[in-house]
Amino acid sequence: MSDLSRAERTLRSYDKALRLRRSMQGDLILVERKTYRGRIGSIGPEGLEWTPDIGRRHEEGHVLVCHIAPEKFRVHALLKHLKAADTWKQPGWIQKIEDDERRAKEHRKFSRSSDMKYKAGEVFDRYVWQNKQRVFGGI
């Protein structure tokens, strides 16, 4: 069993949709994730020719997560970085999003209320000024 297949097995213990493969064009290790059912043919939009790596990825339904030089590839370091970036498995991330949305909604409500008070004050000031009912109180 090659080192790359052992590393892939380690990554798949965390996420079954991940795969590792060597790039067809260069000396890179590609980390890819299965996301959709691919379509045969590596012709890009508007007839643009894709590279062999992009064409294969498109046919097999994967997206590129990252690419790593072989001399810098360490499966445990990669796994650690993937876990740190995984928002679905971080505790409290849903609560944080809900709090952010609630704060944004309250801010919009306060802003609308402030705008309405300001406009109402302007209309009242204009009305009082036009009818010469302005009363100045002395200090």
Coil, helix or strand at residue 64: strand
Q: Is residue 18 part of a domain?
A: yes
**7-40 residue pLDDT tens:** 999 999 988 999 999 988 878 999 999 988 766 6
Specify the pLDDT at position 40: 66
Q: Do 20 and 56 belong to one domain? A: yes
Any bridge partners for residue 19, and if so which? 32
Average pLDDT over every residue of 116-125 = 91
Q: What is the DSSP string of 68-106?
A: E-GGG--HHHHHHHHHHH-GGGSTTHHHHHHHHHHHHHH
Give the torsion sign (CA, 113, 114, 118, 121): positive
Question: Same structural domain for residues 99 and 65?
Answer: no
pTM of the prediction? 0.57
Same domain, 8 and 68: yes
Same domain, 75 and 113: no
In DSSP terms, 21 is beta-bridged to 30
| Tens-place pLDDT, residues 54-91 | 878 888 888 899 999 999 999 999 999 988 888 777 77
Contact 19, 58 (CB under 8 A): no
